[in-house]
């Protein structure tokens, strides 16, 4: 390996070593984070293309651009790619890998080799999914419900194997983060000073480690049933299809929190920085992440209120589901209270954080309809559910991820982006998103079922309107993609701390030193203590 | 009875009013909370913008406030849970005097068995107004779900297990015409809401609510062959009613199964290597025992067997003959 450092320049992780091997075999969490970022953005592009195909097909009743077979495959691939390849690894894999050690004042994560292995697990899993697309793709929906998934002729096997391997990537990242947070905090960085981003990642990692094995077991059972006709889920062989749903949601509901907690974690950093004020009720916000992680394990049954569970089980799951509203509410109230008496500026990352606040509030409140048993009976498996989880997943996690990407981009690549393009992109995404999905709440409450290739004439205007929104949404992301690519090559050189943040990750040079810090930092204040930070720390130079 | 609103379909069962009042209660709670949170945030964004308020005040602790907004929401959450569960139990437990209709879901059609029936009536469900009706449901193949928006009922239809929904309709949609042996008028839509494969979105049925007298007349007349009609024409109706069209085209294109176009009299080759002409006996067997002879290239498609009265078989075969 060659080291090429200009004598009078501070070395940075991007240029300190060169050659493809220096990337393929790197143990640097920052490089792994960057590779994750590229992988995740490509997945987002692929998932987005399938989303647009689905919405274009649904723009008019009957066949628009594809028949039912490819429609079913498209919505399945949209879901599977977005969930398993994009959202779950997005914030932990890319932003978490890069910034968690920087925030802790650590040299790297606790297990750098495991970290690299998690990336390779992701690549193998993604490769299997890609293989499944070229061998005919899968049409079961991302939920793989039995007995359809054991009887369909499409490539269920390679898809489930892909998801199985992706699970390991997620578990390895989780183990790594938990250990890193416990053992590698800089002197003075005690738990009450941890950045809330780290608290969020901590809660997420606990779920990743505890829940993902259940998905692995479930998919393995499914594969064995398909291969050897074991009677586990398929009643033809003496199995129980509802059992599959219990197993599946026992992972996939906690997975919802694997997806949303990191989004919330990012938003804490953005709101604090752009209000120049510590997050109100810091400890309550931190603990709300932990309690969401725990409650997330107890509410899987609310996906099955009409699936054929006993009334007693539905009662317990409904009651527990309402408890989720409490920590979610605590976060939203505290973020709003943080704005009060802050000094608020509206750089592009803050626009995404505020969008998160508005859209997640809608996503959370519409969850109340679905947690209420008798109302859920009417809304279950309609577009209302589709709209609800898109408000949480896109209005929440994606807003947080894109906001975080805007916020930390200068630190990662040493370049600024065009702020006007960022605002245009944000505006298109915000407007397009609401047109697409607010409409779907009404579609759903009127009775439009989900996963339909065709629909009745009476749903035509709303479907058309929703599709127009999707095109605007797509255009917005297209603008942002162009803006980031432009920034890589033509962007203005970024200063050390462009937003004047008090966060610890801004203390290192831009782009960061290969070993993060020249000397181990000693932490003497909280990450949001603007009144204790020195002017030198806050200087946006 | 309440008309459809922008948000919800017309209330046509006794269960709808309760569900809708919960819906609107949560809707208005959500509106109030959304306006309060977003309003407060926007007010802060204006009042504390950096240009007006260059120096932020570091926050102190306010544990009372924290505890307040941690526990105060329970005041609204508990009633939502309580009345939601109460309504749910009501919707789950059918009155003992309900008329029981057996429902069989299959890819991709609905079959209904009225009390005492051994042969299914496909695609159209006829129920009386003002009397509790219970659907006792099971599936022949994969998961389906039974959903009628106007009644606010939904329940998964699961293979290897029975599930049920019930309702009491508040008004009629149709009348029974004894002369033509048909139910006429507006109908409600029955949707499948659990993804079940290729033609999931075509797995629909019509629901007619008729007066008690019309219902009795319908039950008495439903198994009689219509008189004075061309047999192939009757078959064409059955072709649609039994959802044959979701898998078998009449224009020569291969959907899930072989097309009916030019089928009669053709020499068919089968998966096992044999072949035979597609005559009346072949068609009859293929409807009653679809797995007996599988046309080459259609292995693993699993057409379910159909139970049909002889006059219906005659009509269907006459129709297939006519598709040239």
pLDDT in tens, B198-241: 999 999 999 999 999 999 999 988 777 777 778 888 888 888 88
Torsions phi, psi for A189 (to 5 deg): -90, 80
Same domain for B88 and B114, yes or no, is no
Residue (of B222, B115, B220, B214) closest to B172 by Cα position: B214
Round to whole Å and give the CA distance between B211 and B209: 7
Round to whole Å and give the CA distance between A322 and B78: 8
Q: What CATH number is associated with residue B42?
A: 1.10.287
Q: Which among A281, A374, A529 is the nearest to B88, CB-wise? A: A374
- Residues A395 and B38: beta-carbon distance below 8 Å: no
Same domain for B27 and B84, yes or no, is yes
Q: Which whole number is the average pLDDT over A395-424?
A: 96
Q: Which whole number is the average pLDDT over A45-58?
A: 96
Same domain for B201 and B235, yes or no, is no
* Count of other CB atoms within 10 angstroms of residue A513: 17
Q: For residue B321, what pLDDT is reported?
A: 87
Q: Which whole number is the average pLDDT over A477-497?
A: 95
Cβ neighbours of residue A71 closer than 8 Å, sequence gap 6 or more: A54, A57, A453
Domains, chain A, ordered by start: 29-538 (1.20.210.10)
Residue B11: inside a domain: no
| Token reading at B277 | 């002409």
Q: Using the predicted structure, report yes or no on whether residue A1 has a pLDDT greater than 50.
A: no
Q: For residue B275, what pLDDT is reported?
A: 86
Compute CA distances A30 → A480, A504, A518, whole Å: 23, 16, 16
Round to whole Å and give the CA distance between B112 and B122: 6
Same domain for B158 and B239, yes or no, is no
Q: Which among A72, A334, A336 is the nearest to B198, CB-wise? A: A72
Same domain for B260 and B202, yes or no, is no
Cβ neighbours of residue B14 closer than 8 Å, sequence gap 6 or more: B167, B168, B170
Same domain for B194 and B259, yes or no, is no
Question: Where among B221, B246, B275 does a domain terminate?
Answer: B221
| Token reading at A325 | 């509203």
Of the pLDDT bands very low, low, confident and very high (cuts 50, 70, 90), residue A181 is very high
Q: For residue A30, what pLDDT is reported?
A: 95
Identify which has the larger pLDDT, B91 or A6.
B91
A382 forms beta bridges with: A449
Residue B257: inside a domain: yes
Q: What CATH number is associated with residue B166?
A: 2.60.40.420
Same domain for B200 and B299, yes or no, is no
Round to whole Å and give the CA distance between B319 and B311: 12
- Residues A79 and A46: beta-carbon distance below 8 Å: no
Domain count for chain B: 3
Torsions phi, psi for B57 (to 5 deg): -95, 125
Cβ neighbours of residue B26 closer than 8 Å, sequence gap 6 or more: A368, A369, A372, A375, B80
Contact B198 A330 (CB under 8 A): no
Residue B265: inside a domain: yes
Q: Using the predicted structure, report yes or no on whether residue A160 has a pLDDT greater than 50.
A: yes
Q: Which whole number is the average pLDDT over A172-198?
A: 95
Instruction: Assess whether the previous peptide bond of B108 is cis (omega < 30° from 0).
Output: yes
Residue B245: inside a domain: yes
Q: Using the predicted structure, report yes or no on whether residue B16 has a pLDDT greater than 50.
A: yes
Q: For residue A508, what pLDDT is reported?
A: 92
Give residue-wise pLDDT tens across range B151-166: 999 999 999 999 999 9
Residue located via tokens 């009957």: A62
Mutate: best of B77, B91, B152, B291, partner A, most A CBs <10 A: B77
Torsions phi, psi for A434 (to 5 deg): -70, -35
Residue B7: inside a domain: no
Give residue-wise pLDDT tens across range A115-137: 999 999 999 999 999 999 888 88
Round to whole Å and give the CA distance between A77 and A69: 12
Mutate: best of A344, A458, A500, A527, partner B, most B CBs <10 A: A344
Share of chain B above pLDDT 70, in %: 100
Torsions phi, psi for B117 (to 5 deg): -75, 145
Length of chain A in terms of residues written: 541
Same domain for B267 and B315, yes or no, is yes
Instruction: Assess whether the previous peptide bond of A147 is cis (omega < 30° from 0).
Output: yes
Torsions phi, psi for A318 (to 5 deg): -65, -45
Q: For residue B296, what pLDDT is reported?
A: 86
Same domain for B124 and B194, yes or no, is yes
Identify which has the larger pLDDT, B251 or A394.
A394
Contact B6 A442 (CB under 8 A): yes
Cβ-Cβ contacts under 8 Å between A and B: the total is: 263
* Count of other CB atoms within 10 angstroms of residue A186: 16
Round to whole Å and give the CA distance between A154 and A137: 6
Same domain for B37 and B144, yes or no, is no
Identify which has the larger pLDDT, B225 or A159.
A159
Same domain for B240 and B276, yes or no, is yes
Q: Which among B44, B202, B300 is the nearest to A339, CB-wise? A: B44
Contact A322 B153 (CB under 8 A): no
Antiparallel, parallel or unpaired: β B205-210 and B188-192: antiparallel
Torsions phi, psi for A194 (to 5 deg): -60, 135
Q: Which whole number is the average pLDDT over B242-250?
A: 86
Q: Which whole number is the average pLDDT over B39-48?
A: 96
Q: Which among A239, A278, A377 is the nearest to B88, CB-wise? A: A377
Torsions phi, psi for A145 (to 5 deg): -60, 135
Of the pLDDT bands very low, low, confident and very high (cuts 50, 70, 90), residue B242 is confident
Question: Where among B221, B241, B259 does a domain terminate?
Answer: B221
Report long-range pairs for B22-30 (Cβ below 8 Å, ≥24 apart).
B22/A372, B22/A374, B22/A375, B22/B80, B22/B83, B22/B84, B22/B87, B23/A369, B23/A375, B23/A378, B23/A445, B25/B80, B26/A368, B26/A369, B26/A372, B26/A375, B26/B80, B27/A369, B29/A365, B29/A368, B29/B76, B30/A365, B30/A366, B30/A368
Cβ neighbours of residue B111 closer than 8 Å, sequence gap 6 or more: B103, B104, B105, B120, B121, B122
Contact B7 A445 (CB under 8 A): yes
Instruction: Assess whether the previous peptide bond of A511 is cis (omega < 30° from 0).
Output: yes
CB contacts of B89 in chain A (<8 Å) are 311
Give residue-wise pLDDT tens across range B85-144: 999 999 999 999 999 999 999 998 999 999 988 888 888 999 999 999 999 999 999 999
Question: Where among B221, B248, B278 does a domain terminate?
Answer: B221
CB contacts of A455 in chain B (<8 Å) are 201
CA atoms within a 13 Å half-sphere pointing along the CA-CB vector of A136:
9
Q: Using the predicted structure, report yes or no on whether residue B307 has a pLDDT greater than 70.
A: yes
Contact B66 A284 (CB under 8 A): yes
Identify the domain containing residue B48 by its residue range.
16-92
Q: Using the predicted structure, report yes or no on whether residue A7 has a pLDDT greater than 50.
A: no
- Residues A224 and A362: beta-carbon distance below 8 Å: no
Same domain for B206 and B112, yes or no, is yes
Contact A68 B199 (CB under 8 A): yes
Round to whole Å and give the CA distance between B65 and A468: 43
- Residues A209 and A171: beta-carbon distance below 8 Å: yes
Q: For residue B1, what pLDDT is reported?
A: 57
Give residue-wise pLDDT tens across range B17-34: 999 999 999 999 999 999
Look over chain B and give the mean of its residue pLDDT values, rounded to a whole number. Answer: 90
Helix (H) or strand (E) holding A206: helix A196-228
Q: For residue B233, what pLDDT is reported?
A: 86
Residue B10: inside a domain: no
Residue B8: inside a domain: no
Residue located via tokens 């782009």: A511
Coil, strand or helix at A447: coil
Residue B259: inside a domain: yes
Coil, strand or helix at B106: strand
Look over chain A and give the mean of its residue pLDDT values, rounded to a whole number. Answer: 93
| Token reading at B48 | 């504390």
CB contacts of A452 in chain B (<8 Å) are 200-201
**DSSP, res B246:** G
CB contacts of A343 in chain B (<8 Å) are 48-50, 53-56
Q: What CATH number is associated with residue B284?
A: 1.10.760.10
Compute CA distances A151 → A138, A142, A225, A227, A237, whole Å: 12, 16, 10, 11, 12
């Amino acid at each position: 390996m060659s080291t090429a450092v200009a004598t009078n320049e501070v070395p940075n992780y991007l240029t300190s070593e060169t050659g493809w091997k220096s990337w393929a075999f790197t143990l640097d969490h920052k490089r792994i984070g960057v590779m994750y970022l590229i992988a995740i953005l490509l997945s987002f592009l692929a998932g987005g293309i399938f989303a647009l195909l689905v919405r274009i097909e649904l723009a008019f009743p009957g066949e628009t651009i594809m028949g039912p077979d490819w429609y079913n495959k498209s919505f399945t691939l949209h879901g599977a790619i977005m969930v398993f390849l994009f959202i779950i690894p997005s914030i932990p894999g890319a932003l978490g890998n890069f910034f968690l050690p920087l925030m802790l004042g650590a040299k790297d994560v606790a297990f750098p080799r495991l970290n690299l292995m998690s990336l390779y697990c992701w690549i193998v899993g993604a490769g299997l999914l890609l293989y499944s697309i070229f061998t005919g793709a899968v049409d079961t929906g991302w939920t793989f419900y039995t007995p359809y998934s054991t009887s369909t002729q499409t490539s269920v096997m390679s898809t489930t194997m892909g998801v199985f391997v992706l699970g390991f990537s997620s578990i390895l990242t989780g183990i790594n983060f938990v250990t890193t947070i416990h053992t590698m905090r800089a002197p003075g960085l005690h738990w009450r000073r941890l950045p809330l981003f780290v608290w969020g990642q901590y809660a997420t990692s606990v779920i990743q480690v505890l829940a993902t094995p259940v998905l692995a077991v479930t998919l393995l059972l499914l594969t064995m049933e398909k291969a050897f006709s074991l009677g586990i889920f398929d009643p033809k062989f003496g199995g129980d299809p509802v059992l599959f749903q219990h197993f599946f949601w026992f992972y996939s509901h906690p997975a919802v929190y694997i997806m949303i907690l990191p989004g919330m974690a990012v938003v804490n950093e953005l709101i604090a920085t752009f209000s120049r004020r510590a997050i109100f009720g810091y400890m309550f916000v931190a603990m709300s992440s932990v309690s969401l992680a725990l409650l997330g394990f107890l509410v899987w049954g609310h996906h099955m209120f009409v699936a054929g569970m006993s009334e007693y089980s539905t009662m317990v799951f409904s009651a527990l589901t309402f408890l989720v509203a409490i920590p979610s509410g605590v976060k939203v109230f505290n973020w709003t209270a943080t704005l009060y008496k802050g000094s608020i500026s509206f750089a592009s990352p803050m626009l995404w954080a505020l969008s998160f606040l508005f859209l997640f509030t809608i996503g959370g409140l519409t969850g109340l309809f679905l947690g209420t048993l008798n109302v859920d009976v009417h809304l279950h498996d309609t577009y209302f559910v589709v709209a609800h989880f898109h408000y949480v997943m896109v209005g929440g996690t994606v807003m947080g991820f894109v906001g975080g990407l805007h916020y930390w981009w200068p630190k990662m690549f040493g370049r600024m982006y065009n702020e006007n393009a960022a605002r245009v992109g944000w505006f298109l995404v915000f407007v397009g998103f609401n047109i697409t999905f607010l409409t779907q709440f009404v579609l759903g409450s009127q009775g439009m079922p989900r996963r339909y290739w065709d629909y009745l004439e009476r749903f035509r205007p709303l479907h058309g309107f929703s599709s127009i929104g999707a095109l605007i949404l797509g255009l917005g992301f297209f603008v942002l993609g162009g803006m980031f690519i432009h920034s890589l090559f033509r962007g203005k050189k970024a200063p050390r701390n462009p937003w004047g943040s008090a966060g610890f990750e801004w203390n290192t040079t831009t782009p960061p030193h290969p070993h993060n810090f020249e000397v181990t930092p000693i932490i003497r204040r909280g990450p949001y203590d603007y009144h204790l930070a020195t002017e030198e720390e806050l200087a946006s130079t | 009875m309440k008309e459809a609103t922008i948000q919800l379909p017309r209330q046509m069962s006794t269960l709808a009013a309760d569900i809708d009042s919960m819906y609107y209660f949560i809707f208005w709670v959500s509106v109030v909370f959304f306006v309060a949170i977003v309003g407060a945030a926007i007010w802060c964004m204006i009042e504390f913008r950096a240009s007006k308020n260059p120096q932020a005040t570091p926050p102190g602790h306010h544990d009372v406030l924290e505890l307040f907004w941690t526990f105060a929401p329970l005041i609204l959450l508990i009633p939502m849970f309580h009345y939601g569960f109460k309504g749910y139990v009501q919707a789950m437990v059918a009155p003992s005097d309900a008329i029981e209709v057996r429902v069989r879901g299959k890819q991709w059609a609905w079959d209904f068995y009225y009390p005492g029936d051994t042969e299914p009536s496909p695609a159209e469900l006829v129920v009386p107004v003002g009397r509790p009706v219970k659907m006792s449901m099971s599936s022949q193949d994969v998961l389906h779900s039974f959903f009628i928006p106007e009644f606010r009922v939904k329940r998964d239809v699961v293979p290897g297990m029975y599930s049920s929904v019930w309702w009491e309709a508040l008004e009629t949609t149709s009348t029974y015409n004894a002369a033509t042996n048909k139910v006429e008028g507006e109908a409600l839509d029955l949707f499948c809401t659990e993804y079940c494969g290729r033609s999931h979105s075509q797995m629909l049925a019509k629901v007619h609510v008729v007066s008690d007298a019309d219902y009795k007349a319908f039950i008495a007349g439903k198994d009689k062959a219509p008189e004075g009609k061309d047999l192939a024409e009757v078959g064409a109706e059955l072709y649609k009613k039994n959802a044959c069209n979701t898998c078998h085209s009449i224009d020569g294109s291969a959907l899930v199964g072989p097309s009916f176009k030019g089928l009669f009299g053709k020499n068919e080759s089968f998966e096992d290597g044999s072949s035979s002409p597609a005559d009346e006996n072949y068609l009859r067997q293929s409807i009653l025992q679809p797995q007996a002879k599988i046309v080459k290239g259609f292995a693993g498609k699993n057409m379910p067997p159909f139970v049909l009265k002889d006059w219906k078989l005659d009509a269907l075969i006459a129709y297939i003959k006519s598709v040239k």
